[in-house]
Amino acid sequence: MTTRARTTLTLDDVRTARERIGAHVRTTPIYGSEALARLVGREVVLKAENLQRTGSFKIRGAVNTLSMLTDSERAAGVIAASAGNHGQAVAWAARELGIRSTIFMPQDAPMAKVEPTRTYGGEIVLSGPVFDDALALARARVEETGGTFIHAFEDERVIAGQGTLGLELAEQLPEVGTVVIPVGGGGLAAGIAIALRALRPNVRLVGVEVVRGGYTIADGIAVKYPGELTMGILEELLDEIVVVDDESISEAITLLLERSKLVVEGAGAAAVAALVSGKVQPADGPICAVLSGGNIDPTLLISILRHGLTLAGRYLVLRSSLADRPGALIDLLGIVAHQRANIVAIEHRREGVELNLGDTGVDLTVVTRDEEHCLRLIAALEENGFPAERIR
C-alpha cells in the first residue's frame, strides 16, 4: 500500500494566503442556473472562476508561491511546466513581482494559452506531446541553470493559494450541500477541501477527473497522475472522485455557453459534465459546480459547439439521392422548407457513393430545433421518395 505524503496545511495557512494575494486576485462571482437545476433536480450554483485574472484559478496559487520566494530564489528566475493555465499565472505573477519566468508547455498547447503567457512576459518553450514531457524538461532546465521551480500543484504554497477559492465559497454559499471540483494534479480540490472541511464540515466534496491517458479536450486536467501530496489530502478530505469523458464535457461546454452565457474550457466544464451525466450523488442543499477556467482555443470551441449541437439534434447532416434531372433538387428542398428546417450547406455527389444510374447524391447540413424535429424531417423525405441516411 502506497504511503501518501502528509501535509501540515491548515485553514490558517489558507487565510494567510488570502491576505497575501488579495491585491492581485479577484473574488469571482457565483451564478444560479435554472437550466442545470432542471436537469439535476435541485438548485445548482456556478462558481465562475473562468472570470478570474488570466482566465483560471491558477493565479491564486502562483501569486501566493512567488510572493513567498526568497531574494535568491527570485534572482534565479522561476521555471514552470504547464498545460497552459499554470504557465499564464506564473508568467503574470512573475511580471507583477519583477521576476524572470520560463514556461515549458506541451507542443500542442492551445494558442489561447500560449500567446497570453508570452504576452505576460514569460519565455515559452514548447516541448513534448503531453504535460509530463514538459514537466521533465522543465526540471532538467532547473538542474542546468539553478532556476526556481514552481510546481503546478505539488507545493503547499500553491495548494494554500488555491484554497482561497474555498474561503469565498464558504462566504458566498453558507447553505451549500455539495461542491463539485475538477481534479487534474489535485491542487485546487486539495485547497478547497482544506478550507471547506474546516468551515463547512458537513459539505459533500466531489472531485471530477477526466478519463486518463490519450487525447482529451480537458487539457487543463490531463495529467497522468495527481500529485502524492495532493492525493494524500484528497483521499482524506473528499467524499468521492468520479470520472467523465469528452462527450459529457462537450455537452457541458455547449450548455454553459448557450444557457448561462459563460465560456469555459474542457477542464472548467468537468464539474458540470459530472452533474449532467448523473455521476454525482449530492447531499441535501444546493450544489456548487466550480468552473475552474475559461481559456479555450476558439477553433476547438467551434468544433465542440458544432458537435454538441449535433448531439442535441440542433444540426442534422443527411445523405440522400435524387434523379439527375431539372427540378428534382427543388422538390427535395421544398420538403425541407415545408418542415421548417434551414439548410446551411448542400453538396452534390456523383462519385465515391453508390448510386443508381441516372441519380445524383446530395449531402445536406440542416439546422433543426431538436431531435424530434430531425426525425420528422427524415420521415417526410422518405415518405416523398427521397432516401435519408443520417450521417450525424
**Contact call for residues 111 and 297 (beta carbons, < 8 A):** yes
- C-alpha 166/C-alpha 191 separation (Å) is 7
Of 33, 47, 56, 58, the catalytic one is 58
| 185 shares its domain with 298 | yes
Cell of 324: 439527375
The reply to whether 288 falls in a domain is: yes
Instruction: Please state, as a whole number, how many other Cβ atoms lie within 10 Å of the Cβ of residue 235.
Output: 12
**Is 170 strand, coil or helix?**
helix
Question: Mean pLDDT, to the nearest integer, of 166-179?
Answer: 97
Specify the pLDDT at position 4.
61
As for how many domains the chain has, the answer is 3
| 135 shares its domain with 78 | yes
Cell of 158: 500553491
Would residue 58 show up in a list of annotated catalytic residues for this protein? yes
Of 250, 292, 320, 321, the catalytic one is 292
| 214 shares its domain with 268 | yes
- C-alpha 391/C-alpha 353 separation (Å) is 13
The reply to whether 3 falls in a domain is: no
Question: Mean pLDDT, to the nearest integer, of 159-166?
Answer: 98
Domain boundary among 287, 307, 327: 307
| 300 shares its domain with 186 | yes
Question: Mean pLDDT, to the nearest integer, of 7-28?
Answer: 96
- C-alpha 44/C-alpha 33 separation (Å) is 6
Question: Mean pLDDT, to the nearest integer, of 169-184?
Answer: 97
Torsion of CA 142, 148, 149, 155, to 10 degrees: 150
| 190 shares its domain with 281 | yes
Q: In terms of residue numbers, what domain contains 30?
A: 11-53+164-307
The reply to whether 149 falls in a domain is: yes
The reply to whether 20 falls in a domain is: yes
Specify the pLDDT at position 3.
54
| 210 shares its domain with 226 | yes
Q: DSSP letter at 256?
A: I
The reply to whether 30 falls in a domain is: yes
| 75 shares its domain with 204 | no
Domain boundary among 307, 339, 374: 307
- C-alpha 221/C-alpha 237 separation (Å) is 20
Using 50, 70 and 90 to split pLDDT, how confident is the model at 356?
A: confident
pLDDT digits (tens, 9 = 90+) for 94-112: 999 999 999 999 888 888 8
pLDDT beyond 90 at 2 = no
Question: What share of the chain has pLDDT > 70, as a percent?
Answer: 97
**Is 169 strand, coil or helix?**
helix
Specify the pLDDT at position 1.
39
Q: What are phi and psi of 41, to 5 degrees?
A: 95, 15
Using 50, 70 and 90 to split pLDDT, how confident is the model at 26?
A: very high
Which CATH number characterizes residue 75's domain?
3.40.50.1100
Which CATH number characterizes residue 336's domain?
3.30.70.260
pLDDT digits (tens, 9 = 90+) for 261-302: 999 999 999 999 999 999 999 999 999 999 999 999 999 999
The reply to whether 123 falls in a domain is: yes
pLDDT beyond 80 at 185 = yes
**Contact call for residues 135 and 127 (beta carbons, < 8 A):** no
Specify the pLDDT at position 72.
97
Would residue 56 show up in a list of annotated catalytic residues for this protein? no
Q: Counting Cβ atoms within 10 Å, is residue 183 exposed (0-12), middle (13-18) or buried (19+)?
A: buried
The reply to whether 2 falls in a domain is: no
Domain boundary among 307, 333, 348: 307
Question: Taking Cα atoms as reference points, which of 246, 272, 221, 201 lies closest to residue 48?
Answer: 272
Question: CA end-to-end span of the chain, whole Å?
Answer: 47
Q: Which pTM does this prediction carry? A: 0.88
Question: Taking Cα atoms as reference points, which of 96, 92, 131, 95 lies closest to residue 110?
Answer: 131
| 85 shares its domain with 152 | yes
| 268 shares its domain with 322 | no
Mean pLDDT of the chain: 92
pLDDT digits (tens, 9 = 90+) for 131-157: 778 889 999 999 999 999 999 999 999
The reply to whether 4 falls in a domain is: no
| 193 shares its domain with 295 | yes
pLDDT beyond 70 at 36 = yes
Angle ∠(377,378,383) on CA atoms, nearest 5: 100
Question: Mean pLDDT, to the nearest integer, of 111-126?
Answer: 92
| 71 shares its domain with 180 | no
Specify the pLDDT at position 112.
82
| 212 shares its domain with 255 | yes
